[in-house]
Amino acid sequence: MAALSPAAWTALLFALTLHALVLMAVLPREQETVETLPPMTVMRFELAEPVIEPAIEPVPEPRPEADPEPEPEPEPEPEPEPEPQPEPEPEPEPEPKPKPEPKPEPKPEPKPEPPRARAEPQAEVAPEPAAPDPAHVASYEEALAAALEREKAYPVMARRRRLEGEALLFVRIDREGRVLEYRVEQSSGHVQLDQAVRDMVQRAGLPAMPSELPGANYEFRVPVRFSLR
């Protein structure tokens, strides 16, 4: 059973109240006059049907229209291929120059005969000097080596680094003992020691050549050893 609306309930109460009032008015008269009853008036009340308000359906919200899909961009037209450039025409090869005609070779003039050389007298060959006495040579070279040894100095840095070696010295002197030329013919293996040999020659005062040795100068070689032992 559907529930009555407030308007329907009001109409129903009004009808019941009206019936009750009618009955109260009729009942006392029936007791007084039993014989004659007035005709009863029947009142009909029709109950108004309850008005059912239609349920208000919620209005659906309009859906947002979807954005239209973007139209695809047109594909770029392919670039036209460059037209092939015409190949350059080959340059014509230069014509070979004509070879010059060979000039006739001049005839050689006859050379005059050289005058006959006069026979020169042969120069007299000086006799070779006699070989010096080996004893005098050994004695002089010992004196030279001793003079050089007195001026030999061991380099400080070479001593600290414990460098050792032996160099071969070449010396050429005049008859007065002055050094004309010198060089280290064989290195000691260390730059500091080789330089010490050169310094030794520059400081040394070498003895003059003895009269027993011939010649204007004298060459000799002497080993110079640097040892820490």
Residue 199's contacts (CB-CB under 8 Å, 6 or more residues apart) are 153
The tens place of each residue's pLDDT in the chain, 229 residues long, gives: 556 677 777 888 888 888 788 777 766 554 444 455 555 555 554 555 555 555 566 666 666 666 667 676 767 676 767 676 767 676 767 676 666 666 666 666 666 665 565 555 555 655 555 677 899 899 999 999 999 999 999 999 999 999 999 999 999 999 999 999 999 999 999 999 999 999 999 999 999 999 999 999 999 999 999 999 8
Domain ranges of the chain: 135-226
Residue 72's contacts (CB-CB under 8 Å, 6 or more residues apart) are none
Indicate the CATH number for domain 135-226: 3.30.1150.10
127-135 contacts, C-beta under 8 A, 24 or more apart: 129/214, 129/215, 130/214, 132/212, 132/213, 132/214, 133/212
The residue among 223, 226, 229 whose CA lies nearest residue 158 is: 226
pTM above threshold 0.75: no
- The single-letter DSSP state of residue 175 is T
- Rounded to a whole number of angstroms, the distance between the first and last alpha carbons of the chain is 139
Residue 49's contacts (CB-CB under 8 Å, 6 or more residues apart) are 8
For residue 163, give both structure tokens. Answer: 């460098």
